[in-house]
Amino acid sequence: MSELHAVAHKMVERGKGILAADESTPTCTKRFESINTESTAQSRNLYRNMLLTADGIEKYISGVILFDETFYQNELSTGVTFPEYLTSKDILPGIKVDQGLEDFGSGEKITKGLDGLSERLGKYYSLGARFAKWRAVITIGNNIPSNDCIIENAKTLAKYAQKCQQANLVPIVEPEVLMDGSHTIDESFDATSRALNATFDQLIEHNVSLQGIVLKPNMVLSGYECTYQANIEEVAEKTINCLSANVPTEVPGIAFLSGGQPDEHATLHLNEMNKYENDWNLTFSYGRALQQNALKAWGGKSENLKLAQEAFIERAKANSLASVAGL
């Protein structure tokens, strides 16, 4: 268990965060369409290679969540697999292991992927992975989220986390309350509190070592279509209060998801939260908020490689500073 604890602490090392580069093929295809680039195994390899070989990445990034396809692809200049390449840079390789969503009642979802999970985790560990990720999705709407959906997702997250630790992998536990909708920040606070509370109840019931996990929650925001948008200070205060009431202090760190926020908002919210006295290291596990500018700069063209890498490093550095309230 001490290895798990050490890895969890390294994932949330002060001044560093986690790059979420685990977009599924359909999601990646959608992103590539926005830059008029065909999504193929080769073009996705080129894109991930651009991100992961950016000069100085190891100064700001502690770990990278990979998609299954990327896990087996190669860094292009050395020919080694991405997990081997990241390890050589002292960056922890991680792997997304959930297998997407399925319907659960009216307008709600649960995450699938427990079947055969132990075998997959063992294989990923043997090939260099040191942590995994599983995302649950909670929707705010008319009479939802239901308690049944929250509890079912919490149980599934706990079973996944238990299997990860048995395989010597640190589980990233991600109960994401979606910010799509017109709900208020108070409704977001309530749903996030319920999700976190149920998740930790189940983690404890399943004998998961809380010192060997990393929590990846949403920030407490106004719904994106809400007429009143809470400001940076309100978001920071509500999020810190929500975490303080629902997250045990044994958890070594919290790496927020960006959830589709504008890049700068995700950075400024993180910076503001780190001005508070916290029981945990608060950092980032961003996908779009780290990659969007780099994707646009790259545009699918090899001649734009350096520009794209500079755009990525600029966002990584800004969020590194935000993780120590350095902006």
Active site (catalytic) residues:
174, 216
Cα 25 from chain centre:
17
Pick from 155, 165, 101: nearest CA to 131: 165
Pick from 64, 62, 87, 82: nearest CA to 72: 82
Angle at 106 between CA 103 and CA 111, to 5 degrees: 25
Q: Which residues pair with 281 in a beta bridge?
A: 253
Tokens at 196, concatenated: 């976190």
Number of CB atoms found within 10 A of residue 5's CB? 17
Non-local (6+) Cβ contacts of 96 within 8 A are: 22, 65, 66, 67, 68, 132, 133, 134, 135
Identify whether 145 is preceded by a cis peptide bond (ω within 30 of 0).
yes
Say if residues 282 and 273 touch (Cβ distance below 8 Å). Answer: yes
